Amino acid sequence: MLDKLAAVENRYEQIGVELTRPETVSDNALFTKLMKEHSELTPIVEKYREYRAACESESEAEALLSEGGLDKDFKELVEAELIEAKENKQIFAEELKILLLPKDPNDDKNVIVEIRGGAGGEEAALFAAALYRMYSMYAEGKRWSIDVTNVNETELGGYKEISFMIEGVGAYSRFKYESGVHRVQRVPDTETQGRIHTSTVTVAVMPEADEVEVDINPNDLKIDTFRSSGAGGQHINKTSSAIRVTHIPTGTVVECQDERSQFKNKEKALKVLRARLYDAAKSEHDEAIASDRRSQVGTGDRSERIRTYNYPQCRITDHRIGLTLYKLDSFLNGDLDEMIDGLITYYRSEALKQQEG
C-alpha cells in the first residue's frame, strides 16, 4: 500500500507542476481534466501525509524513550505522544485503505430515478408519491435541482409511475443504493376495519449517460407524439406535445409529457433513454463478473425487497444491512443521510474484505 501511496503523491506533484504551465492553462480540456484528477487525489495525498507525520512522531518518541535518562514528567509526556501517534497511525491507515478503493466512475453524475407502484393498487400509487416527496426533500436539502420527465397520476393524487432527474455533483453516489423494492405497511385511509395493508413500490436509479458513452443511431428510434393528459383524462394542453420514443433494437420505450414544448419533451426523453441503455449495459457487465465482486458495486437488485416502511411502529428497516431506525416521519421528510451513510459504510467494508482477501 505504501508504494502505491508514494506513486499517488508523485503523480499529484506532477499534476501541480503541469497546471502551472502556460500551455496547460491555454488548453481548456486538458486543464479541466488535470484539475479533476488533482481534486480526486488531494484527499488521498493529504491523508498519506498525515499518516507519515504520525509514523515520524512514533519513531521520534520511541528514539527518545530508548535513550533513557528522561525525568519522570518528560517521560510521561513522550509516552503519551507515542500512544497518540500509534493510534493516529492505525486510524489513518484504515482511512487510506478506504480512499484507495476503486471509485465508481458514475458517482459524481446526475441521476435519473423512476418510481413505479407495484402490488397494492391505489395504496401503492400513494406510497410512490410519498417516496417522490421524500427524495425531492432530500435533494432540496443538498441544494440539488429536480426535473420531472414523466408522471402518470391517479385520481387520489398517487403515482402509477413518475420519472425525474436530480442534478448535482455526487447525486448518483447517494441515490444508487435506493434501487429495489420498497415495502410499506400501513392502514390506508379507505380501510374501515383498521387493518394494516402491505404494498410495494419499485425504484430504479440510473446515472445520467453522456452522449459519448451511449451512441444512439437516429434510425433506431421510433418517435410518436400525443396529447399530454393528467389524472382522469384531463388534458394538460390541447397540442400533441407529449413524446413517446421507442428504441427499436431493444424495445425500450420512454414517454415524456412534462413540458409544453415538444422539443423539450423529446430532449428529456432521449436523456432517459440514454440512461436506461447505459444502465442495461452496466447491469449486463456486473452480471458477468463474479458474485463476490458484484457486492462491491452496491447498485441493488431491483427484484429484491430492500426496505420496509412500517407506519404503525414508525419504523424503517433496510434489509441489506439490518439497520432499523425509529424515525419514519423525519425519514419521509428527506432525513436519509443516516441510512445512506450506513449503506456506504457496509459496501465499503465488503469491498475491503474482497481487496484484502
Summarize pLDDT for 281-304 with one digit per residue, the tens.
777 656 654 443 334 333 334 456
Q: 59 with 195, same domain?
A: no
> Range of 303's domain?
111-350
Q: 93 with 232, same domain?
A: no
Residue 242 is predicted with a pLDDT of 81
**Mean pLDDT, the chain, whole residue set:** 83
Q: 67 with 148, same domain?
A: no
Q: 90 with 119, same domain?
A: no
Q: 162 with 34, same domain?
A: no
pLDDT digits (tens, 9 = 90+) for 111-144: 999 999 888 888 899 999 999 999 999 999 999 9
Supply the CATH number for residue 174's domain.
Answer: 3.30.70.1660
Q: 228 with 309, same domain?
A: yes
Contacts of 234-242 with C-beta under 8 Å, sequence gap 24+, read: 236/260, 241/265
Residue 355 is predicted with a pLDDT of 67
In a domain, 199, yes or no: yes
Q: 51 with 199, same domain?
A: no
Neighbouring residues of 68: CB distance < 8 A, sequence distance ≥ 6: none
Q: 120 with 88, same domain?
A: no
Three-class SS of residue 173? helix
Whether the predicted pLDDT of 205 surpasses 80: yes
Cell of 164: 425525474
In a domain, 355, yes or no: no
Average pLDDT for residues 183-199, to the nearest whole number?
81
Q: 115 with 86, same domain?
A: no
DSSP result, 55-109: HHHHHHHHHHHHH----HHHHHHHHHHHHHHHHHHHHHHHHHHHHTSPPPTTTTS
Q: 125 with 85, same domain?
A: no
In a domain, 357, yes or no: no
Residue 287 is predicted with a pLDDT of 64
Q: 33 with 137, same domain?
A: no
Domain count for the chain, please give it: 2
Residue that is last in its domain, among 99, 128, 152: 99
| In the block, residue with C-alpha cell 393524487 | 157
Question: How far, in Å, CA of 318 to CA of 110, rounded?
Answer: 24
Whether the predicted pLDDT of 102 surpasses 90: no
Q: Is the pTM of this model over 0.75?
A: no
In a domain, 300, yes or no: yes
Average pLDDT for residues 64-80, to the nearest whole number?
87
CB 312 within 8 A of CB 185: yes
pLDDT band at 352 (very low <50, low <70, confident <90, very high): confident
In a domain, 104, yes or no: no
| In the block, residue with C-alpha cell 379507505 | 190
In a domain, 79, yes or no: yes
Residue that is last in its domain, among 99, 131, 162: 99
CB 178 within 8 A of CB 113: yes
DSSP result, 111-160: EEEEEEE-TTTHHHHHHHHHHHHHHHHHHHHTT-EEEEEEEEE-TTS-EE
Q: 145 with 269, same domain?
A: yes
